[in-house]
């Protein structure tokens, strides 16, 4: 009897253990499901964060490129403003004096807007607004536009040799060499604006 009773007790003990294991196994899927849902949510959150990070990086890159793009757009080439009738004159003047054609054209545009009949209040005339006394000294008098361009180119060449820089030479072309020497540069804001306008236009000119 003791042996049988002991055997039944062991059986009951084994049965109780089996029930506990069964109950434990029934709860395990729920725990795994909860963990699975948490894993899915964590994965979705990670993807959202990565997408936000990528968008932020793209915006920063586009903002960094914006100044460069604006800088490029500021260098858009300008069409040649020289009327066809005067293009040969500018080419010849550049070849004779060594002054870049683009610099001559930009100076002429700032001086006269390419009007061969332009005359200033001070008496300067022509495409390059050469003073009559300067034209006489350079032996290029008269109303011929081609002669006026050569005279202006030779005068600008003299100023380049005298001052050693384009900025000072242009300042002297506009305000006179004596005023530039006294001031040590552009003597007025108007002259400085004139110089910058010429330099910007020269950098944009194509096809002249």
Give mean pLDDT, residues 103-111: 98
Query: For the segment 167-197, what is each residue's pLDDT rounded down to a tens digit?
Result: 999 999 999 999 999 999 999 999 999 999 9
pLDDT band at 208 (very low <50, low <70, confident <90, very high): confident
Of the chain, the percentage scoring pLDDT greater than 70 comes to 64
Structural domain ending residue among the three candidates 52, 74, 96: 74
Q: Are 128 and 118 in contact, with CB atoms under 8 Å apart?
A: no
Question: Domain range holding 167?
Answer: 84-204
How many whole angstroms separate alpha carbon 133 and alpha carbon 151? 11
22, exposed or middle or buried, with CB in 10 Å at 0-12, 13-18, 19+?
exposed
Same domain, 39 and 118: no
Same domain, 40 and 105: no
Same domain, 138 and 49: no
Same domain, 110 and 143: yes
Same domain, 44 and 68: yes
Asked if residue 79 belongs to a domain, the reply is: no
Choose the catalytic residue: 12, 55, 110, 111: 111
How many whole angstroms separate alpha carbon 28 and alpha carbon 17? 16
Is residue 111 annotated as a catalytic residue, yes or no? yes
Quickly list H helices, the chain.
2-73, 84-97, 101-112, 132-137, 145-163, 166-175, 177-183, 189-204
Same domain, 90 and 64: no
Same domain, 65 and 89: no
Same domain, 92 and 69: no
More confident residue, 73 or 151: 151
Asked if residue 27 belongs to a domain, the reply is: yes
Same domain, 101 and 40: no
Q: How many domains is the chain built from?
A: 2
Same domain, 49 and 111: no
Distances (CA, A) of 143 to 92, 125, 127, 174: 17, 8, 10, 21
pTM equals: 0.64
């Amino acid at each position: 009897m003791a042996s049988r009773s002991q055997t039944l007790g062991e059986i009951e003990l084994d049965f109780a253990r089996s029930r506990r294991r069964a109950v434990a196994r029934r709860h395990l899927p729920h725990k795994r499901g909860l963990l699975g849902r948490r894993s899915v949510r964590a994965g979705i959150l990670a993807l959202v964060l990565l997408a936000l990070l990528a968008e932020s990086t793209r915006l920063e890159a586009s903002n960094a490129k914006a100044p460069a793009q604006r800088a490029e757009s500021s260098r858009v080439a300008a069409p040649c403003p020289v009327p066809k009738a005067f293009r040969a004159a500018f080419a010849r003047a550049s070849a004779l004096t060594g002054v870049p054609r683009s610099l001559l054209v930009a100076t002429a545009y700032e001086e006269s807007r390419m009007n061969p009949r332009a005359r200033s209040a001070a008496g300067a005339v022509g495409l390059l607004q050469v003073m009559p006394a300067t034209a006489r000294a350079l032996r290029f008098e008269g109303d011929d536009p081609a002669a006026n361009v050569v005279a202006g180119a030779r005068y600008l060449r003299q100023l380049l040799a005298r001052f050693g820089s384009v900025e000072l030479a242009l300042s002297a072309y506009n305000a006179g060499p004596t005023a530039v020497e006294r001031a040590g540069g552009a003597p007025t804001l108007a002259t400085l604006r004139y110089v910058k306008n010429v330099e910007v236009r020269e950098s944009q000119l194509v096809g002249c």
